[in-house]
Amino acid sequence: MAFRAVLAGCGNMAKGWLKAVTEAPELKGRIDIVGLVDIDLAAADRLRAEFGLGAATGTDLDAVLSATKPDLLFDVVVPSARRDVVLTGLRHRCHVLTEKPMAASLEQARELVGAAKSAGRIHAVVQNRRFVEGVRRIRETIASGALGELTALHADFFIGAHFGGFREAMDHVLLLDMSIHTLDAARFMAGLDPLAVYCLETNPRGSWYAHGAAANAIFEFANDVVFTYRGSWVAEGATTSWESAWRIIGTAGTLLWDGADSFQLKLVADDSGFLRPLKDAVVPPPPHPSQTHGHASVIADFLDAVESRQPPETAGSDNIKSLAMVFAAIESARTHQRVLIQA
Ligand SMILES: NC(=O)c1ccc[n+]([C@@H]2O[C@H](COP(=O)([O-])OP(=O)(O)OC[C@H]3O[C@@H](n4cnc5c(N)ncnc54)[C@H](O)[C@@H]3O)[C@@H](O)[C@H]2O)c1
């Protein structure tokens, strides 16, 4: 039997969710969208018409949840509305899958993790950019030991993105709205906990954002592994992939990924010469290809968790570590000090 779901927040991203729900083979027939909620009723009605759904629409989440009694709440609202929406869903005993970032502050994230635990419901975050082939292949490469012992990860994110909307008005826009994907990917690839960060955040000359469109951060991970992040949303020209461009270094060599289809794995061939001779090696395929479909994979992982009562990969209780990286970077930028990362 299909899960009954209400989706709150009928803006741009909601279309991506509904496309995945209605078209992805791993989700087909598993979800019945019974309600669409937005503070702008016309947005909910438009979405219902666009996807030909029979869902109820409304502006009051509490009322729609009472009327439809769904198993699941899909939260796709703006970050500032997230806390109330998630708590309302948990109060109605829904399992909640929530867009990133999982909360507008670390305190709120802790509150939501606690509320989900008390309610005995699954609470997971759409960290879709770890469900892509390249990220999975890199994690597999690192875990295989091919690079020797991991020592460093470096990610570059440079895109001149003109969104309009809430992003251009929010504080710490790059760190809060986008960097979480890259920081979460680094934590996932390395399989290590983040310990501390030093970060310089700027709003470069000519920026069309109100605040924080660029950041340069140095993270300390466990095992003396360093992760650096250089990012800008106002870098016109020569853009990187949305997944960032990566250089990953181990004691046995280096792995480059352009964030799309190009990988180079160069390993030391023998220990002679000023610059050691290198050999090319093959980056292994993703261990589970079904985990490389972005939103569809995250939603499928969430449904599997609800069915099996096992924690999903992006459970709020784990994803809070990625959010803690973001807020520690923001705190470091504010104080110009190294900041410990504590979820
Ligand atoms: N995972 C990704 O790759 C990705 C990509 C883009 C956006 N997002 C995230 O998705 C979320 C939504 O972003 P978007 O681009 O769709 O924004 P958007 O502004 O296009 O849509 C948000 C919608 O939420 C509605 N809303 C606001 N407060 C509400 C409330 N209390 N109850 C019900 N509806 C409410 C707004 O009216 C709007 O229609 C954000 O958290 C954003 O960070 C994730």
Mean pLDDT in order along the chain per 10 residues (343 residues): 97 97 95 98 98 97 98 96 98 98 95 98 96 97 98 98 93 95 98 98 98 98 98 97 98 98 97 97 94 96 96 97 98 98 94
Choose which residue among 61, 74, 78 to substitute to test ligand 1 binding: the one with the highest number of ligand atoms within 8 A of its C-beta. 78
- Structure confidence at residue 1 (pLDDT): 86
Question: Positive or negative CA dihedral for 46, 47, 51, 55?
Answer: negative
CB within 8 Å of 197: residues ≥ 6 apart:
217, 218, 219, 220, 325, 328, 329, 332, 338, 339, 341
Distance, CA of 95 to CA of 226 (rounded, Å): 36
Measured in Å, residue 50 CA sits from the centre of ligand 1 at: 17
Backbone angle region of 9, left / alpha / beta, with phi > 0 → left and psi within -120 to 50 → alpha: left
Measured in Å, residue 225 CA sits from the centre of ligand 1 at: 35
Cα–Cα distances (Å) from 276 to 141, 253, 279, 292, in that order, read: 21, 10, 10, 35
Return the ∠ at Cα 43 (arms to 64 and 293), rounded to 5°: 90
The model's pTM is: 0.95
Q: Give backbone dihedrals phi and psi of 173, rounded to 5 degrees, phi first.
A: -60, -45
- Structure confidence at residue 240 (pLDDT): 98
What's the half-sphere exposure (Cβ side, CA atoms, 13 Å) at 147? Answer: 25
Q: Are strands 31-37 and 278-281 parallel, antiparallel or unpaired?
A: unpaired
Do the Cβ atoms of 144 and 284 come closer than 8 Å? yes
Which residue has 């710490």 as its token pair? 172
Distance, CA of 292 to CA of 304 (rounded, Å): 16
Measured in Å, residue 99 CA sits from the centre of ligand 1 at: 8
Return the ∠ at Cα 101 (arms to 98 and 102), rounded to 5°: 50
CB within 6 Å of ligand 1 — which residues?
Answer: 8-14, 37-40, 43, 61, 76-79, 81, 85, 99-100, 126, 128, 165-166, 177
- Structure confidence at residue 63 (pLDDT): 98
Question: Angle, to 10 degrees, between the axis of helix 106-119 and the axis of helix 82-91?
Answer: 10
Measured in Å, residue 81 CA sits from the centre of ligand 1 at: 9
- 183: amino acid identity, one letter: L
- Structure confidence at residue 166 (pLDDT): 86
User: Which parts of the chain fold into alpha helices (H)?
Assistant: 12-23, 41-50, 61-68, 82-91, 106-119, 133-144, 173, 180-190, 295-308, 316-335
What single-letter DSSP state applies at residue 179? I
Return the ∠ at Cα 304 (arms to 38 and 187), rounded to 5°: 85
Q: Which atom of ligand 1 lies at the shortest distance from residue 10's CA?
A: 39
Do the Cβ atoms of 5 and 96 come closer than 8 Å? no
Distance, CA of 305 to CA of 14 (rounded, Å): 22
- Structure confidence at residue 246 (pLDDT): 98
Give, using CA atoms, the residue closest to atom 5 of ligand 1.
13
Do the Cβ atoms of 145 and 281 come closer than 8 Å? no
Q: Are strands 253-257 and 95-99 parallel, antiparallel or unpaired?
A: unpaired
Choose which residue among 7, 13, 233 to substitute to test ligand 1 binding: the one with the highest number of ligand atoms within 8 A of its C-beta. 13
Provide the token pair at 245.
Answer: 């461009």
